[in-house]
Amino acid sequence: MPLLDVRDLVVRYGAVTAVDQVSFSLEPGETLALNGPSGCGKSSTALAVLQLRRPESGEVHFEGRELTTLPESDLRPLRPRMQPVFQDPYGSLSPRHRIRDAVAEPLKIQGRWNADDGPARVAELLDRVGLDPAYGDRHPHELSGGQCQRAGIARALASDPRLLVLDEPVSALDPSVRAGVLNLLADLQDDLGLGYLFICHDRAVVRHFADRALEMRAGRISSPQPGSS
Amino acid sequence: MESEALLSVRDLRIAFAGVEAVRGLSFDVRPREVLALVGESGAGKSLTARALLGMVPEDATTSGTVTLLGDTDLAAQRGLHIALVPQDALSALSPVHPVGDQLAAAVRSVARVSRKEARARAVAALDRVGIPDAARKARAYPHEYSGGMRQRAVIAMATVNEPDVLVADEPTTALDEERRDQVLRVLGEQREALGAALVLVTHDMDVVRDHADRVLVMYAGRLTELGPADAVLGRPRAPYTAGLLASLPEHDAPRRRRLPALPGTPPAPGTLPPGCAFAPRCPLAADLCHREEPEPQEVEGHLVACHHWAELPHPAVDLFQEKQHASS
């Protein structure tokens, strides 16, 4: 069974069809890239997969369950298992919260926090993404872009996800730190068997990082790119 | 230093509240060349570009000299002999004036010509960058232009007075690959037609490879390496350049899931380590590097600021294979 199976997805903004009959599937442990120019519908697809925006039509099957017809109350227990990581590392974290509170928040919301081992869990997550746990005391503006993106990944991991939806996760980073974050994502996938829906406009990055890639153009899948592996 | 220089920068230093962001930079821009200024956030490349235009922020303390065509009064030459191609086309144009009026105003700001003549030059500049029906489009407002046309319009604005030097600060950073190539093509054609030099600030090595004659690599406000683009990219002599190039995913190389990576993060101004600013991230760093900042020296046609350039292997990829848990 695929981890994610998207069929005939349609997203509209008023009269504009941003995503037009898009279908793809993703296996556990696999990276599928969505590649294409600005405005081609990559990010709208990501939002619809995450059910952060309800699609106009089509189906999103995640771990065998069809999400588009589920009421929000039934979606809520599934949401931790599919986590987003966004492009802007600073915009993804509240500027007022310390890093450790940002990482602890999903645990608290999901009722998985307890005062005894919660802090140790946060330290473990920060260590897992290559951040010295001492950075937990800092605010986002006190971290570099790469460190901040690592913190965002730690926060996503706090929910024990199976799928990460990575929307241009390295596009805002300096070139010399980009490779380190991509390597981290590769390690996490190897260790945890995560599926990645990887949205990226940079073909060279896609070629090295993705198992398969789909090219989007004007809301449609225009061509499957040759499998890179 | 060199009689062929159009623009000369000597020991440029720019500081904010006593913290130097550009720390003693010297280089020349030669007639008709494309010089890429490469570096990461905080390297000082945008500030350097602004200094070339005499546009350093008012709260900055500047020393050193920038000489354009024998003259150090840069503000007086801005728009006439040197012009900026801005990064963000939308915010570079006023939304409340027709595009042609804005170009005509740029003409009359540096030349005593009639409104009619200014207008004619504006239309001609729009026509040169490939805006269809330029005379009519000159009367339209920026919001009536498509994104690509707006990019062309700001290039027309920068070239309307036929300057000797164009300075483009990350002209393609926010663009996808197609738009990027289009903007660079138009910019290249205009530069060619005017016989102007272009200083291209970028962090995109593909852009450097395809468009630059020479490249100046900056790190933490200093020159790390300067030389012909094909030589610097083909055989870097500074460890930072080598590491940066090794960490980039390549279009043609066999697929590698794990990329070589530089550990750590570029230093922010004011938090520089002693000695060479790159030493904490450098696989070749030794005692001297942590004590003494290297000066640029000539190495086979490059300028290289590194104590240990001679020990840098080629290719250097193996030096940068990442250890687990590099904290960047």
The secondary structure of B94-138 as a DSSP string is -TTS-HHHHHHHHHHHHS---HHHHHHHHHHHHHHTT-TTHHHHT
- Eight-class DSSP state of B71: B
Q: Is B147 helix (H, G, I), strand (E, B) or coil?
A: helix
Residue B214 Cα, gap to closest chain A Cα (Å): 20
Q: HSE (CB half, 13 Å, CA atoms) of A26? A: 31
Which chain A residues touch B if contact means CB-CB below 8 Å? 37-38, 127, 130-132, 144-147, 150, 174-183, 186-187, 201-205, 207-209, 228-229
Instruction: Tell me which residues of chain B have a pLDDT lower than 50.
Output: 1-3, 324-328
Contacts of B184 (CB under 8 A, 6+ apart): B171, B172, B207, B210, B211
- Whether A36 has a pLDDT exceeding 50, the answer reads yes
Higher-confidence residue of A198 and B148: namely A198
- Whether A31 shows a pLDDT value over 70: the answer reads yes
Burial pattern B142-169, b for ≥16 Cβ within 10 A else e, equals: beebeebbbbbbbbbbbbbbebbbbbbb
Q: How far apart are CA A77 and CA A97, in angstroms?
A: 25
For the CA atoms of A46, A52, A56, A57, the dihedral, rounded to the nearest 10 degrees, stands at 60
Q: Which residues of B touch A150 (CB under 8 A)?
A: 328
Residue B24, C-beta contacts closer than 8 angstroms, at least 6 positions apart: B11, B12, B13, B64, B222
pLDDT tens-digit readout, A153-172: 999 999 999 999 999 999 88
Provide the pLDDT for residue B88.
80
For B188-223, write each residue's pLDDT tens digit.
999 999 999 999 998 888 889 999 999 999 999 999
What are the residue boundaries of the structural domains of chain A, listed by start? 4-95+164-225
Q: Is the pLDDT of residue A224 over 80?
A: no
d(CA B7, CA B82): 10
In the 3-class helix/strand/coil scheme, how is A55-74 assigned residue by residue?
A: CCEEEEEECCEECCCCCHHH
Query: Best residue in A208, A211, A229 to probe B by mutation, most B CBs within 10 Å?
Result: A208
Q: How far apart are CA B53 and CA B79, in angstroms?
A: 9
- Please indicate whether, in this complex, the C-beta atoms of A179 and B322 are within 8 angstroms of each other: yes
Q: Topology of domain A4-95+164-225, per CATH?
A: Rossmann fold (3.40.50)
ipTM for the predicted complex comes to 0.76
